[in-house]
Structure 1
Amino acid sequence: MKKVDYIIVGFGLSGLHFAKKLIDENKSFVVFDDNSENASLVAGGIFNPVILKRFNLAWNADLLLTHAKEVYESLERLLGVKFLHSKPIYRRFNSVEEQNDWFSASDQSQLSKFLNTDLKKSIPYIQSEFSFGEVNKTGYLDTVLLIKSFKNYLQQQGNFIEEAFNYNELNSAKNSYKDFTFNKIVFCEGNGLSLNPFFNDLPLVGNKGEYVTIKCEGLNLEEMLKFSLFLIPLGNDLYKVGATYNRQFKDREPSTSAKKQILIKLDKVLELPYEVVHQEAGIRPTTKDRRALIGRHSEIKNFYVNNGYGSRGILLAPSAAKWLFNFIEYQQELPKEIDIARFN
């Protein structure tokens, strides 16, 4: 039997960042993952502290953003790969009222450093009767490159086993799983949590999101654009467009209805021809109160969960890993907003 401090189940953004935290703290661990939950792999990859529908800050935005950048830059150094790209978002205004709301929001001290009051009059080949507002301190994270690079690193270290986790082989009395004994186990399974017999009572809601990737020559857009969707430049005339939100889904496969929904919205603003070169879908793990699910099992005291990030995983995951680690190792209280104890 091989003894480890931790077993991590799942390797989306939540499992990845908890593994990084364990490396930083010199804890031994093994990750089990079979790529069955791919929401992180198909995520848009945007890190953005501002809710652009209402022009207000996301929960704990300043703290999350500062820590997230530190951790992603640390991962880049560890892996020798560049996957974090700082670039602004241009928010397309739909009315004079929205422009006025932008100026009102930018007067608030907590928002002033994010919202540029110098509006951009127009963007070539993007239809708009009104201006565009620039959001600063935002960017794009290549989640596919990050996850694959870190997975390869962990495989080389012997810390990653690519297989489905079998709950029937987990012995909570002996703290053992197959050939491993462990001190703690952390479940980071995304929407797969619904199949977890230890935490499937938590109110996780699957939300299917889909993106298309288009090739559009001549657009030459380097910044991200937010209209009713996001348009994210990937380089080489490729742009990722989305995403949809659907809680009433039958499967996790890309759908023609979502593709049609995206292209109808895109055609209203993009004034150049394009071709669709790819479509992808994933199931976001969301909650009704829009807060993560982090904490300890009510009865099995060394079983933990780290989940429910919704569409904010890129910003939230680094801090969530720190909070959970400090909760486990140093008994520091979790933020009450994300502690699963709120459902007890």
Structure 2
Amino acid sequence: MKVDYIIVGLGLAGLAFAEELLNANKTFLVFEDDSQTSSLVAGGVYNPVILKRFTPVWNAKEQLEVALPLYQKIEEKLNISIDKKIVIKKAFKSIEDQNNWFEAIDKPKLIDYLDPKLDSDNYNGVISDFSFGNVNETGRIDTKKLVESYRSYLNESGFIRFENFEYQELKLNEQFVTYKDVTASKVVFCEGFGIKQNPYFNYLPLNEAKGELLTIHSPELNIDFLLKSTLFILPMGDNNYKVGATFNWTDKTSNPSEEGKEELVEKLKKVINVPYTIVSQSAGIRPTVAGRRPLVGVHPNYPKLIVLNGLGTRGVMIGPTVAKSLFNHLEKGEILDLEIDIKRFNKKIK
């Protein structure tokens, strides 16, 4: 079998790159072993503002201009609904918090997103001694439905194999690469934290941050916005809410833990005061990079091997943009932004 590209891993990164290839009539084959779950359990929220500090997300406007049309196109192609527009309400903790909000409104990169009129309403079940600030141009991508539907779509077309990628079977030469019965021009690794096992790219400084979420059922809460406080509460319909998230830098498993559950329950006590039941708990490993910039580019010694990784907590926003940048770099010779190019870490390769 001969293709233009092999893609290893089909989470948000691999999916976005596959779309670029389809748009350009490039052939490819995906290998997916379901070992990485961060895209499947992600909250999927897109928000152009870092609410902890009231600062703009890196290149947020440009990212949304690429990402949202992509998700709309996928919705139409697969006949699914994955993009739900939803307002984010930041629960202020103090007058100082509110004042910082108003200072941030005057920043050019935030003026389109932060509402100058505060929300002073009382919402049943929500603990708040101060007002709320509304963030506009926000929403949620149903990442689980997106990834699972896209995998099914590729499976029906014969573009994906659900099996483990065995690095020792990869053979390289100057013109092409071979992997078992497949010949390709290039291999793009989109493995999430699985890259730590990749002999070609394990030198990259990718950190694993385990995140856990709860799904709760609370009929008395009845909010239709994403509440951002010491944690987030995201309405999922039918009085169900996703609650998260934890950050654990030591536990490298994707298994839900009692420790994570207890942490979320304790935080939730400070955010809502109505009864709820826990429906489920999920966990995943976020691939993160110091400086919050992804890992994109060509291996310094093996030009047929490529990496697209490290999307972090804002994968639904940044994934489509960096996938497009990588495609344009490989196919059109465009230069990668130095902030994302793995060349910045080449000195660490052994």
Normalising by structure 2, we get a TM-score of: 0.97
User: Can you list the C-alpha shifts for 1:241-282, whole angstroms capped at 9, x where unaligned?
Assistant: 000011111522111111111111111121210000100110
What is aligned with 2:342?
Answer: 340
Which residues of 2 match residues 98-109 of structure 1 at below 5 A? 98-109=97-108
User: Can you list the C-alpha shifts for 1:282-325, whole angstroms capped at 9, x where unaligned?
Assistant: 00001122110000000111110000111011100000110000
What is aligned with 2:158?
Answer: 158
User: Can you list the C-alpha shifts for 1:118-170, whole angstroms capped at 9, x where unaligned?
Assistant: 11113221011100000000001100000011111100110010111011111
What is aligned with 2:71?
Answer: 72
Counterpart pick for 1:227 among 212, 226, 229: 229
User: Can you list the C-alpha shifts for 1:204-237, whole angstroms capped at 9, x where unaligned?
Assistant: 1111000000000122111111001111100011
What is aligned with 1:191?
Answer: 193
Is 1:48 aligned to 2:47, yes or no?
Answer: yes
Equivalent position amino acid for 2:268 in 1: L
Equivalent position amino acid for 1:167 in 2: Y
Specify the SS of the correspondent of 1:126: coil
Is 1:140 aligned to 2:130, yes or no?
Answer: no
How many residues matched? 343
C-alpha contact (below 8 Å) 2:210/2:252 kept by paired residues: no
Specify the SS of the correspondent of 1:27: coil
Which residues of 2 match residues 179-218 of structure 1 at below 5 A? 179-218=181-220
What is aligned with 2:268?
Answer: 266
- Give the CA RMSD over aligned residues: 0.9
C-alpha contact (below 8 Å) 2:230/2:271 kept by paired residues: no
In the aligned structure 2, how far is the partner of 1:252 from the partner of 1:69? 29
In the aligned structure 2, how far is the partner of 1:289 from the partner of 1:138? 23
Task: Describe the shift of the 1:161–1:316 C-alpha distance in structure 2 as closer, same or farther (beyond 3 A).
Answer: same
Using the TM superposition, give the Cα deviation of residue 181 of structure 1 relative to its aligned residue in structure 2, in angstroms. 0.3
Counterpart pick for 1:252 among 250, 254, 276: 254
> Which contiguous aligned blocks of 4+ residues in structure 1 show a shift greater than 4 angstroms?
none
In the aligned structure 2, how far is the partner of 1:318 from the partner of 1:68? 5
After superposing the two structures, state which structure 1 stretch, 204-213 or 171-180, moved more: 171-180
Specify the SS of the correspondent of 2:39: coil
Specify the SS of the correspondent of 1:218: coil
In the aligned structure 1, how far is the partner of 2:139 from the partner of 2:255? 28
What is aligned with 1:3?
Answer: 2
Equivalent position amino acid for 2:206 in 1: L
Equivalent position amino acid for 1:89 in 2: I
What is aligned with 2:119?
Answer: 120
Give ranges in structure 2 of 5+ residues lacking alignment. none
C-alpha contact (below 8 Å) 2:13/2:309 kept by paired residues: yes
Equivalent position amino acid for 1:21 in 2: E
Equivalent position amino acid for 1:103 in 2: F
In the aligned structure 2, how far is the partner of 1:269 from the partner of 1:304? 44
In the aligned structure 2, how far is the partner of 1:108 from the partner of 1:180? 51
Counterpart pick for 1:288 among 287, 290, 297: 290
Task: Describe the shift of the 1:314–1:250 C-alpha distance in structure 2 as closer, same or farther (beyond 3 A).
Answer: closer
State, as a whole percentage, how many aligned pairs show the same letter: 47
